[in-house]
Amino acid sequence: MTETQPHGLQFFPVPLFASVMGVGGLSLAWRRAAKVYDVPTGVATALFWVALAMFALFVAAYAAKWVRFPAAAWAEARHPIRMAFVPTITIAALIVATAGQTIMPDVARVLWWIGAVGHLALTVAILSAWFEREDIGLTQMTPAWFIPIVGNVVTPLAAREIGSEEFAWFAFGVGLIFWVALLPLLLFRLLLHDNPMPPKLLPSLAIFVAPPAVSMLSWVALTGEAPSAPPARILYACVLVFVALVVGQYPKLRKVPFAIPYWAFTFPAAAASAAATTMAGALAARAYDVVAIALLAVASVTVAGVFVLTLRAAARRQICVPE
């Protein structure tokens, strides 16, 4: 088959790795719930195996795309908007490693290093493209821009157990500072720019929730401080505000037809759930438990719902097709 002939592999979308992030992130949320509320660990373990299987399958498919259809893969990696989704691969590796650190520690350690070093390399590469390319401007900016840069805050989650604390601090600093730098630019683009985001990309608004949620978890992991410490409380407040803002967009979001960007809802929901559960475990007020349980339920329903919709779309051959 020549590269000019249509083939499903040619159109394998790299944003599918966001599904690994969603399932793996939900595994982490359930693992934290098991510690705080003494729920069975079997749910977290099962979700880890699903995430690992998905990750292996998608890595094989994406590698095959580069081998058989390098022009299509290169075009996607250079696309002004889609290039931001390429680092979902390295974030997925870090999340799977974190979820599997006690189940498969040796494999998790290898995945952690691949994800941590690979993501930092992609950060530099994509930042360089943003600096140099004239075809990338405010119109191409979406909340997905958090992925290649702020994704570095995922690195510390399992650094003490299977990685390097020094490297994790470095990555955390990069991710946190660039979150602070990108946040006002993205808010300006969404609130004041004349050219709105394409409707298909509106689910990416949920990505605003992830940076403060993961930053809070990583701060606690790196410092050993209690989640009730001021930095964690501040980040947790940001999480809840962004959750409220996304919920407020529900009337608009519900009109968006299903597509792969729906997976953008899943990891932020799981990260918010993990952050809320961590905070509930440190503070006695009943309200924290209510929020944590509610967010865990929402995250679980969201991941399950998007997973089923994706399987239905795949059965109808609506995945891996040209747009």
- Convert the pLDDT of each residue in 196-231 to its tens digit: 888 888 999 999 999 999 999 999 999 998 888 999
Residue 195 pLDDT: 78
Six token digits for residue 120: 């930092």
Quote the pLDDT of residue 148: 95
Q: pLDDT value at position 286?
A: 92
Give the helix, strand, coil percentages of the chain, each rounded to 5.
80, 0, 20
What pTM does this model have?
Answer: 0.94
What single string gives the DSSP state of each residue in 240-288? HHHHHHHHHTHHHHTTSPP-GGGGGGHHHHHHHHHHHHHHHHH---HHH
In this structure, what token pair is assigned to residue 66? Answer: 């580069």
What stretches in the chain show pLDDT beneath 70? 1-8, 322-323
Question: Which of 97, 78, 77 is closest to 20 using CA atoms?
Answer: 97
Whether 30 and 296 have beta carbons less than 8 Å apart is answered as: yes
Q: Report the pLDDT value the prediction gives residue 2, as an integer from 0 to 100.
A: 43
The encoded tokens of residue 82 equal 């889609």
What's residue 323's pLDDT? 65
Cα four-point dihedral sign 100, 102, 106, 112: positive
- Helices 230-248 & 210-223 angle (0-180, nearest 10): 160
Please write the tens of the pLDDT for every residue from 3-54. 444 456 788 889 999 999 999 999 999 999 999 998 899 999 999 999 999 9
pLDDT given at position 126: 95
At 245 the pLDDT is 94
Crossing angle of helices 42-68 and 88-99, in 10° steps, is 150
- In angstroms, rounded to a whole number, what is the distance separating the alpha carbons of residues 114 and 47? 21
> What is the pLDDT at residue 254?
87
